[in-house]
Chain A
Amino acid sequence: MNKKPDYTTYEGIPGQVFVAALRESVERMSGFVLNVVKNESDTVPVHEIIGAMVLQGDNALLLTLETNKCSAAPLVSFMTGIETAALDDALLNDGITELINMVGGSARARLEASNYKFYLSVPFTIAGEGINIVVKKRTDSFTARLVCDGIDLMLRLYKLS
């Protein structure tokens, strides 16, 4: 009898895998338990920090985590034990960069036995008021908004190949 191979093929972007990786990363590093909410665009806060990394493979993705300083501050504060008032922009940006790095690493392990097997680029941050990443209209993408106690995070994935 042939044994079924332990391999998963995703037709679309495996967004829920990344949502699970983000929830795990935030909960373990800061204790906050994120909830997924409906993406109501009129209530989305202006983004000031975008953590990003490229996931390189046959199915390459751009992974981003968009947020603002008000959301990043409690997250980084609970991660480091440093009071929010003592956190400067460099630490907030670094915290979001590290978080996206963890999400990428965790998702890579979860997707190892799938058609989304990839290498991780160096994580980086784009910072500035009201920033957005704009892609071609027909690019496949996935968006999830996660919140907890005033923390508001937007996880996005864009299929690059």
Chain B
Amino acid sequence: MNTLLLNLLATTDGVRPSTTWFPENASTDNNVDPLFYFIFWICAFFLVLNAGLMIYFAIRYRQRNKQGAAHGHTHNTAMEVTWSVIPAIILAIIFIWGFRGFLDMANPPQIAPEHEIAVNGYQWAWDFTYPNGETVRGVGAEKPALHVPAGVPVRLTLTSSDVLHSVFIPAFRVKKDVVPGRVTQLWFEPVYDASRETVALDVPDPADPNQTVTLHPNEYDLFCTEYCGQAHSLMITKVYVYSPEEYATWYASMTVTPPTTPLIELGSNLYVQKCATCHTIDGSANTGPTWQNLYGSTHGTSAGPTLADDAYIIESIRNPGAKIVDGYGNNMSAFPNLTDREIRAIIEFMKTISDNAEADEDLTYGDLNDDGTLKTEGEADGSGDDAGGGDAPAENE
């Protein structure tokens, strides 16, 4: 009992909510809350009616001497028809209201092509690919987030690489299953409200990759709501809603990676974002082999013993089924959106956790060519304009 009381009282680490129902709404089109409150008050009325009558009868007609039995009507058709018809009418209203709302949610208005975002779910993260061909990278160790402009309708096109997922953004009141083998979609029109809590996001300045600018979007949650395996509950990320001006800045910054970014740091971030769900770096086995001491070692694979060198790692990322390490399944999806430079960054990161290789800790993103090779002395400087690597992701890998 002590534990129980402690737990009941220990609410200090949880945020006590300000409103009883629903999180704040952040979209223009809200077909959920009004109908909810309509049904809610109907429910409240009938619950109070039923429970009230039940308790009143139990007290009022309580029998003490156990003697005898009660007489009374055994039926009353008029009354029974009445209490069948009244709920039917209420239900019809609820149905029509709900269906109209649903049609509204299902049929998007005219949506500009630049506001179509391709969302691909995989165990256990989301890829958000924008019309410029870029896939969102997470900031630091965070998973990639969804960034949307306020004031315009946005459409998400949903696909899955493996199992069922479901996109749920409570603040926009939208949800849609992500079904492998199908393409589903959902839309919303976000609202930006500067008076609400905002977060400060530093992004590379599109005008000058060596600088950063700070943006102030509203931050909301995005959940996966269709159970998808081990880390289902970690398949969550943030939605950032920008004012139109800030969104333009963010959109332009997508293609910019600051040339000063240390390669190992970039590789480490990419590992956390893309690889950590299946590959450990502490030597324990997971869905895939561990990366500890992987680089430079030789393993038995489906194509015979193979040395894990640069070429092997590039192949394993581009074409994961080519050489499968013995004892593991052919489970990995290809990562066509990783650029050659980024794969190089991952390789540098792998070197740091392998006894078989020495990593060059001084390398930065700016030291690489688009194809991932090191720049020669002559190229090394003055290539800032190109450093962002506006390289469109290798589409046909």
Say if A and B assemble together: no
Residues in chain B within 8 A of chain A (CB atoms) = none
